[in-house]
Amino acid sequence: MITLIRIELWKLLRSKAFYLSFAALSGFVVLMLWGFYSYARQKTSGLATEQFRYTYESRSYFNGLTFTLYSLMFAFSLVIPIFVTMTAGGQIAGERRAGTLRMICIRPVSRVSLVVAKFVVVIIHTYLLLAFFIGLNLLVGLLFVGWGNLELYPGPLNLVDAPGQILRDDALWRFCYASFSGTWALLVVAAIAMLLSICFDNPVTAVSATLAAYLTLYILGRIEFFETLRPYFFSTDMDFWRDVLKPDIPWPDLYHHAATCGAYIFGLLLTAVLVFERKDITS
């Protein structure tokens, strides 16, 4: 198994898509920095307090940790899943497309081990993506925006019900936790992509179908008309990763949604393994 993982990891490191994902996330951070910087300058120029007596958007509010939080929140839902899906969706269908799947499968390794080894590589890539993204945001935030405490207000990020604060050092730990909870949440998308990668011959089809399913449920979950259906969407459970960024972490909720994500991940992976074992590989 270790040898299989090492081979799959080597393939990942040799692929351009792997480096493209990090480059794209770096570009996203640059754009976020530009947007955040100009917004913060506009909001602290005094115009807001001319119109309204009070605003929490002060100089202390706009700091590197707030920048990281905003950047992570937006990238997590819509940008990072694309790269995770690309990696996972290409694992089996990509081999088939390249004409190497049959050759891999005639080696004296079980198909189950092959799928698991490929999924382990997807896990590693997902974690590296998140850790890199959070680390880069914190670094950029420190260098260009400055540090302070993480101040949270109800409303825009839909994260808290009441104003709260996380002290700087604690906030850094929370971002560390977020790299793990975020990876776990994203593995649901990865597991779907893995299953579809086995079902479809073309990696593009597998990636598109996964993204279509994820984005559809993500968007529907944000529309009030689907309030009664929302709890049954996997994208709703995936949102648990943000709980570690709340001043008081709601542990029971976090355990529940993390376990639900676990059921999705292992259930889909088990299905993928069973399907792949019985699949007739002719290409």
Residues binding another protein (CB under 8 A)? 51-56, 110, 112-113, 116, 153-156, 158-163, 221-224, 227, 252-253, 255-257, 259-263, 265-267, 269-270, 273-274
Return d(Cα 249, Cα 269) in angstroms, integer: 29
Instruction: Please give the Cα distance from 165 to 171 (Å, whole number).
Output: 9
Q: Compare residues 51 and 282 and give the one whose CB is closer to another protein.
A: 51
Is the torsion defined by CA of 254, 259, 262, 263 positive or negative? negative
Question: What minimum distance in Å lies between the beta carbon of 14 and another protein?
Answer: 26
CB nearer to another protein: pick between 208 and 271: 271
Spatial neighbors of 241 by CB under 8 A, at least 6 apart, are 76, 178, 181, 182, 184, 185
Task: Please answer whether residues 81 and 211 qualify as being in contact, where contact means their C-beta atoms are separated by less than 8 angstroms.
Answer: yes
Nearer to another protein, 13 or 229 (CB): 229
- Of 168 and 222, which CB lies nearer to another protein in the complex structure? 222
In whole angstroms, give the CA distance from residue 151 to residue 145.
15
Q: How far is the CB of 282 from another protein (least distance, A)?
A: 24
Nearer to another protein, 73 or 128 (CB): 73
Angle between helices 64-78 and 16-43 (to 10 degrees): 130
Question: Closest separation between CB of residue 69 and another protein, Å?
Answer: 15
| Minimum distance from residue 112 beta carbon to another protein (Å) | 5
Q: Which is nearer to another protein, 176 or 270 (CB)?
A: 270
By C-alpha distance, which of 120, 274, 241 is closest to 190? Answer: 120
To another protein, the closest distance from the beta carbon of 189 in angstroms equals: 16
Q: How far is the CB of 161 from another protein (least distance, A)?
A: 5
How far apart are the C-alpha atoms of 65 and 88, rounded to whole Å? 31
Q: CA 81 to CA 96: how far, in whole Å?
A: 23
Name residue 219's beta-bridge partners.
Answer: none
